[in-house]
Amino acid sequence: MPNQPALDVSILVVSYNTKALTLEALTSLQAETRNVNYEVIVVDNASTDGSAEALKIHQAVSRLIPLDENIGFGRANNLAAEYASGRYILLLNPDTVVLDGAVDRLVTFADNNKRALIWGGRTLFGDGTLNPTSVWRQMTLWTLLCRITGLSALFPSSDIFNRESFGNWQRDCVREVDTVSGCFFMMPTTVWNALGGFDPIYFMYGEEADLCLRAKRIGATPLMTPDAEIIHYGAASETTRPGKVIKLFTAIATLIDRHWPYPMNIAGQKLLLGWPLSRWLAFEAAGRVMKRKAWQEKAAVWKEIWDARDRWQFGYARKVLTKPERDAKRSLTGPVGGNQTPSVATSLKEAEL
C-alpha cells in the first residue's frame, strides 16, 4: 500500500516447545518496541505443547509458519527470512525478554554504525546477572585446547585462558567481536540474502559463527552495544544434556572442517575428540576414588557422548530442503538454483555503505 510506512526490521522467531516463554518474549517485544516499524515472522518447529495454536492468535505475530517436522534453528530462520520485508533482519530467541526498548536501540545503533553489517546487544540471565553468551571471539586451536583442558573454566576471568569468551569483559561497552549469537542478531536483509542466510547444513549451534565468518570475508566487523539489552534464559528447548553436547560438537566439527586450513583442521578434529574422552576418564576415576554419585553420573553422561562420536566427529551432512522451504523459495525468488540472489556488491550498495 502506498501510504504504508516502510518496515525497519523483520523479527524472526523460531519456536519449539517453548509456548509460555515464546508468548512472554512476544509480549515484551510488543510492549518495548515503540519507535521502529516491524513485523514478526514465527516458525514453529512442530511443537507438541500447543505453541502454534497460541501463537496464531498473538497480536504481535504478523505471519506464523507451522511445520510438521523440526528442521532446526538455522533452516527455520532461513524459511522465515524468505518472507522478510524489513531493512534489517533481527533474530530473536523465544526464550528471551526484551528490555527497555532494546529493539529500538539496536536499530538506532545499526543506523549509526552501518559498516559493521552485523549487530548484537547485551544479554542477561533471568536473575539479572550477565549472560556472556551473546558474543564470542573466533574459535582457535588455543581456545579449543583451553576448553578441553578445563583452563577456561578454571580461569574464567582470564583473557588468555578464556579468550573465546572475552575473559572478564562485562559487555559494558561498544566493542568489535567475531560472532554475535543468534539469540539477538541483526543484519541488513540485503546482505543476509546475498550470503544465503544460514548454511542449512547446521541443525542447531554453529550457524551464526559460520555466517559471521563468511560475512567478515566481505568486510563485516560485527559490533556489540550494551545499550540494547535483553534477558536470555538459554537452552530452554534442549532438555537432554548429552543431546545438547552432541549437537554442539557436531557444529564445532563442521566449523573446523569448513573454516580451518589444513593441517590446522586435522589438529582441531583430534583435539575435539579428546574433549569427551578426557572428561569421561577424569570423572570416572574421581567418582571411583571419592565415591561421589554426582561425579559417577557425570562420567556416564560423558561416556554416552564419547560412545556417540561417530554421530558428531565428522560434522553435519548436507540437508535436503523440505516442501515448505522449497515452496517459499519458488514463490519469492523464482526456481531453486536460479540466479535471483543479489550479489554481495549490490547488497552492500543497497545497505547504503
DSSP letters along 40-109, please?
EEEEE-S-SSSHHHHHHT-TT-SEEEE-SS---HHHHHHHHHTT--SSEEEEE-TTEEE-TTHHHHHHHH
Whether residue 206 contacts residue 255, with contact meaning beta carbons closer than 8 Å, is answered with yes
**pLDDT tens digits for range 303-338:** 999 999 999 999 988 667 777 777 776 654 443 333
**pLDDT tens digits for range 9-22:** 999 999 999 999 99
Q: Are residues 52 and 85 in the same domain?
A: yes
Q: Are residues 30 and 85 in the same domain?
A: yes
pLDDT at 141 over 80: yes
Taking phi over 0 as left and psi of -120 to 50 as alpha, with beta for the rest, 302 belongs to alpha
Considering only CA atoms, which of 83, 14, 76, 84 is closest in space to residue 322? 76
Q: How many domains does the chain have?
A: 3
pLDDT value, residue 241: 84
Task: Output the CA–CA distances (angstroms, integers) from residue 344 to 89, 99, 188, 218, in the order listed.
Answer: 16, 33, 12, 8
pLDDT band at 202 (very low <50, low <70, confident <90, very high): very high
pLDDT at 265 over 70: yes
Q: Are residues 285 and 157 in the same domain?
A: no
pLDDT value, residue 5: 66
pLDDT value, residue 351: 59
Please report whether residue 218 resides in a domain: yes
Whole-number percent of the chain with pLDDT over 70: 89
Q: 3-class SS at 241?
A: helix
Please report whether residue 336 resides in a domain: no
Considering only CA atoms, which of 117, 349, 112 is closest in space to residue 227? 112
pLDDT at 352 over 70: no
pLDDT band at 343 (very low <50, low <70, confident <90, very high): low
pLDDT value, residue 12: 98
Amino acid making up residue 136: W
Q: Are residues 198 and 57 in the same domain?
A: yes
- CA 135 to CA 224: how far, in whole Å? 7
Residue in this structure with the C-alpha cell 549487530, named with its chain if needed: 119
Q: Are residues 38 and 107 in the same domain?
A: yes
Q: Are residues 226 and 249 in the same domain?
A: no
**pLDDT tens digits for range 223-263:** 999 999 999 997 555 555 898 899 999 999 999 999 999 99
Q: Are residues 215 and 78 in the same domain?
A: yes
CATH number (domain holding residue 210): 3.90.550.10
Where does a domain end: 193, 212, 235?
235
Please report whether residue 317 resides in a domain: no
pLDDT value, residue 328: 76
Q: Which domain holds residue 194?
A: 9-137+177-235
On the CB side of 190, CA atoms within 13 Å amount to: 16
